[in-house]
Amino acid sequence: MLLPGGLWHKQQRKRDFSFKPVTGTLEFGIAEISGRGYAMPEAVTRILQLALAQLAGEVPTGQRIEELCIADRQFLMRELQLHLGDSETWYSQRCRHCNESFDFELDLRTLPVAEGDEHYPFVEVELDKLEVCLRLPTGRDQAELADKEEVEIPAVLLKLCLLTQSREVDVDAFIANLSQEELASIEKAMEQASPGIVTDVQVSCSNCNSINPVYLDPYRLLNRGYGNLLAEIHSLARAYHWSEQQILALPVQRRAAYLTMIDADRGMSH
Ligand SMILES: [Zn+2]
């Protein structure tokens, strides 16, 4: 698996990454970070730093993870969700036409991923009078925007991503002078150049056949919580008298194998 965008390192675009093996420590850490009330970009950076073994040929630092484009971060969060084994393929949705609940099947692994083009992460836009060069927004930009008002975001983002050759250019004045059409062209060019994962699908209701838009949250992992983890630690600690740390260090398959054995013993004693 390769990142749809990637990071530049010594004139080379690097797209490889790998996650650490799944243990309770990783699952526990993700639940802890998610529950701590960070702004979303900060939570994503911390979770990815905890979960990645390697990023673009390097040890993953918070700084490098912030430099990833937004699509790469969304891609990694969804891949991490699958890596943890959360690969359910059935979803429930309430139809916005007939108001009945219906189920649909969707395998996140089959959704297409758009990769960055050869100019990645840069975008050139030809406007009437001039050519504008920008870079695609990163996790760091997203963190800067986290406390901004909705209406300010487009201008602030443009200022962050605009690359100017000369220092004499007054960026604020330049942005303020752009027409609505020019702003729209810039936005469209950035959208086209950006890699991306699918976050919106259309699903037809099994009751009334009408089409419903469904949002597939790329950051769904942030809502994972502890799941059964605490109950599993409890069962294992009671059966084997291992410490919490020893239990969390177990690879997830081994934890599951022990739990099956505990369940089987319990079944026999009844
Ligand atoms: Zn319906």
Please provide the distance, in angstroms rounded to a whole number, between the alpha carbons at the two ends of the chain: 47
**Cis link prior to 4 (omega < 30° from 0)?**
no
**Quick one: residue 93, left, alpha or beta (phi over 0 = left, psi -120 to 50 = alpha)?**
beta
Q: Of how many residues is the chain composed?
A: 270
Using the mean position of ligand 1's atoms as its centre, give its distance from the Cα of residue 199 in Å: 21
| DSSP-derived secondary structure for 213-237 | EEE--TTGGGG---TTHHHHHHHHH
Alpha-carbon distance of 56 to 231, in angstroms, equals 37
Using the mean position of ligand 1's atoms as its centre, give its distance from the Cα of residue 212 in Å: 8
Cβ-contact 114, 10 below 8 angstroms: no
Cβ-contact 231, 92 below 8 angstroms: no
Task: Output the CA torsion 192→160→55→147 (10° steps).
Answer: -110
**Quick one: residue 206, left, alpha or beta (phi over 0 = left, psi -120 to 50 = alpha)?**
alpha
8-state DSSP, 108: G
Using the mean position of ligand 1's atoms as its centre, give its distance from the Cα of residue 111 in Å: 24
Can you list the residues of the chain whose pLDDT is less than 50? none
Predicted confidence at residue 166, as pLDDT, reads 60
249 alpha-carbon distance from chain centroid:
25
Alpha-carbon distance of 177 to 166, in angstroms, equals 18
- Residue range 156-198, pLDDT digits in tens: 999 999 987 666 678 888 888 888 999 999 999 999 999 999 9
Q: Where are the domains of the chain?
A: 2-113+198-223, 117-194, 229-265
User: What Cα–Cα distance (Å) separates residue 158 from each residue in 130, 230, 262?
Assistant: 16, 45, 57
Alpha-carbon distance of 110 to 112, in angstroms, equals 6
Identify the CA nearest to 195 among candidates 245, 120, 258: 120
Using the mean position of ligand 1's atoms as its centre, give its distance from the Cα of residue 89 in Å: 20
State which residues have CB under 5 angstroms from ligand 1, the bound ion: 95, 97-98, 205, 207-208
Cβ-contact 205, 101 below 8 angstroms: no
Using the mean position of ligand 1's atoms as its centre, give its distance from the Cα of residue 104 in Å: 12
Predicted confidence at residue 270, as pLDDT, reads 56
User: What Cα–Cα distance (Å) separates residue 209 from each residue in 43, 98, 105, 164?
Assistant: 38, 9, 15, 51
Using the mean position of ligand 1's atoms as its centre, give its distance from the Cα of residue 97 in Å: 5
